[in-house]
Amino acid sequence: MKPLFGRARLAGVLAAIASVTIWAGWIPVTRLGVVTHLDPIDVAALRYGTCGLILLPFLWRQRAQIPFHRCGLLLLIAAGAGIPYFLLFGMGLRLANSGQAAVFGPGASSLFTILIAAFWLRESLSRARVIGILCTLVGFALVASHELLHGGVRLRGFGLILLASLAWSLFTVASRRLALAPLLTAAFIGVTNAAVFLPFYLFSHGPARLAAAPLGAVLLQSFYQGILTGTIAMMTFTFAIGRLGASGAAAFTPLAPVLAGCIGWWLLGDALNVATALGLAAVAIGVVFGSGALGWVSARR
pLDDT in tens, 89-138: 999 999 999 999 999 988 888 888 888 888 887 877 788 888 888 999 99
Considering 132-136, 193-197, 200-204, 233-237, the range whose residues carry the highest mean pLDDT is 193-197
pLDDT at 279 over 80: yes
pLDDT in tens, 11-62: 888 888 898 899 899 999 999 999 999 999 999 999 999 999 999 999 999 9
Q: What is the reported pLDDT for 258?
A: 87
Q: What is the reported pLDDT for 1?
A: 45
**Do residues 233 and 11 touch, judged by C-beta distance below 8 A?**
no
Please state, in angstroms and as integers, the Cα–Cα distance from residue 102 to each residue in 26, 105, 139, 277, 284, following that order.
10, 5, 11, 10, 10
Q: What is the reported pLDDT for 59?
A: 95
Give the pLDDT band (50/70/90) at residue 178.
confident
Give the pLDDT band (50/70/90) at residue 249.
low
DSSP per-residue letters across 62-94: TGGGS-TT-HHHHHHHHHHTSHHHHHHHHHHHT
Residue 158, class by beta-carbon neighbours within 10 Å (0-12 exposed, 13-18 middle, 19+ buried)?
buried
Q: What is the reported pLDDT for 63?
A: 93
**Do residues 287 and 253 touch, judged by C-beta distance below 8 A?**
yes
Considering 63-77, 114-128, 166-180, the range whose residues carry the highest mean pLDDT is 63-77
Instruction: Give percent of the chain above pLDDT 90.
Output: 54
Q: What is the mean pLDDT of residues 187-201?
A: 95
Nearest to 211 by CA among 37, 49, 90: 37
Instruction: Give percent of the chain above pLDDT 70.
Output: 91
pLDDT in tens, 252-271: 777 888 899 999 999 898 88
Q: What is the mean pLDDT of residues 170-199?
A: 89
pTM for this prediction: 0.88
